[in-house]
Chain A
């Protein structure tokens, strides 16, 4: 199975900061990488699919990129509503479609 290693596991930042979260796949997964945001007690919400495509309705301050087996979620200017936990997920080839361990983004 493909393993997804997400870092950091937690992050403290301030409103207006630029934040980067990384996810590394254990093998090549092309662009089969999605990013989700989850707030406490809520279901996850899709932010980015196919590594860099912004889901409709998601603010443009969110962006995704890929370099080989390394994937990055960037929030260009943190807003108060962005404090949440973020997960990457691979959807390459045959399931299981594993998630990363998550990154909890907290207010500094």
Chain B
């Protein structure tokens, strides 16, 4: 059974840092792109970042570029999100998700999601 379990959320002051982790199990972690998606309280979903299987490609939404870093440790089956210079508007539930592809290999989608971890940025 595929499982994704996020941890590391909490309360942090503006300008502070936090590192989120996502522990993966039930599949060959090193074979999949992985993503972070966030959801501010009462708001919609926002795609944040993703990372290629070997970590050689990383992409970010503009609002977090230069502040957040996505990484992975395939030996530990873990995905990370280092968040620096946090702002009040970064307050959200952060989900990690696995990217799957259809049989053609062209169309990708987020097929498995963790339960999310809440990050609150407030003074």
Task: Point out residues on A near B: beta carbons under 8 Å.
Answer: 1, 31-32, 34, 36, 38, 43-46, 49-50, 53, 55, 87, 89, 91, 94-102
Contact = CB atoms under 8 A, between A and B. Distances in A.
B109 A96 contact: no
Interface stretch (B13-21, B41-49, B71-79, B82-90): B41-49
Contacts of A100: 44
Contacts, number: 66
Q: Which of B46, B60, B108 has the most CB of A within 10 A?
A: B108
| B: interface residue count bin | 20 to 34
Nearest to A98: B47
A24 to B, nearest CB: 16
A99 B62 contact: no
A32 B107 contact: yes
